[in-house]
Amino acid sequence: MMGIIRCLGCPSWQVIGNIQNQNKMKQIILIIMSLLTFSCSSKAQKQTTDADTQSDKKILVAYFSCTGTTERVADAIAQAVSGKLYRITPAAAYTSADLNWNNKASRSSVEMADETSRPALGGETLNLQDYDVVFLGYPIWWDLCPRPVNTFLEKYDFSGKTIIPFATSGGSSITGSVKQLRKLYPKIEWQAGRLCNGSAKQAGDWAKQVANAE
């Protein structure tokens, strides 16, 4: 072995005067080089396989949004993780009067004051079987998710699925809403989620990281 190591450091084959059978030596070196090549190529193969596993995951990015803020974030996340974007669409769209939180009689105020409120949904029907991971986005309403999000979670069977929540808000955190979602839907694997009030790029980078860890 020492001979081989010394040989590799030599400028030419002629210098190795003490090695009687140079052909044998060449053969040994060729075998070592083949083994090294094989080891490198199997490492590369493994990396390709890992990358494939990540990109093979089917991701749904479902969101509810009335004034477009959460929609922009959802769009960036769907692009970052190559997910399918799905809009949670209320059967009756919310008008700006409906969204007036200063008015106790507005639609959103009435719905949020009633824990059992489940506004009807429209939009296309989902086939949840098609997805492995679900990102769920919504605006914070009175520290919670809007009631149409509850309708959505009860319309389909999310048991055993992992849901990664994300939200936008005027400043409130996502924590209260996730706590309530965990309590209402204990069969769903809830992740901590993230408030995405920063840039769309930040949201996309975060989502990519989370999706790859799944």
Ligand X SMILES: Cc1cc2nc3c(=O)[nH]c(=O)nc-3n(C[C@H](O)[C@H](O)[C@H](O)COP(=O)(O)O)c2cc1C
Residues 194, 196, 198, 202, CA torsion sign: positive
Question: Measured from the CB atom, is 140 or 163 closer to ligand X?
Answer: 140
Question: Measured from the CB atom, is 51 or 92 closer to ligand X?
Answer: 92
Task: Tell me the closest approach of the beta carbon of residue 165 to ligand X, in angstroms.
Answer: 14
Question: Measured from the CB atom, is 150 or 168 closer to ligand X?
Answer: 168
Question: Measured from the CB atom, is 17 or 170 closer to ligand X?
Answer: 170
Task: Tell me the closest approach of the beta carbon of residue 129 to ligand X, in angstroms.
Answer: 28
Nearest CA among 52, 73, 211 for reference residue 138? 73
Question: Measured from the CB atom, is 112 or 163 closer to ligand X?
Answer: 112
Task: Tell me the closest approach of the beta carbon of residue 166 to ligand X, in angstroms.
Answer: 11
Q: Which two tokens stand for residue 106?
A: 């507005």
Task: Tell me the closest approach of the beta carbon of residue 125 to ligand X, in angstroms.
Answer: 23
Task: Tell me the closest approach of the beta carbon of residue 167 to ligand X, in angstroms.
Answer: 7
Taken as a whole, the chain contains a residue count of 214
Task: Tell me the closest approach of the beta carbon of residue 105 to ligand X, in angstroms.
Answer: 13
Binding site residues, ligand X, CB under 6 A: 65-71, 99, 101, 108, 139-143, 168-172
Q: How far apart are CA 87 and CA 178, in angstroms?
A: 20
What distance lies between CA 105 and its chain's CA centroid? Answer: 38
Question: Measured from the CB atom, is 160 or 170 closer to ligand X?
Answer: 170
Instruction: Tell me 141's DSSP state.
Output: B
Nearest CA among 160, 158, 168 for reference residue 63? 168
Q: How far apart are CA 150 and CA 116, in angstroms?
A: 9
Nearest CA among 112, 101, 104 for reference residue 170? 101
The Cα-based distances of 106 to 38, 88, 95, 151, 214 in angstroms read: 69, 21, 10, 19, 40
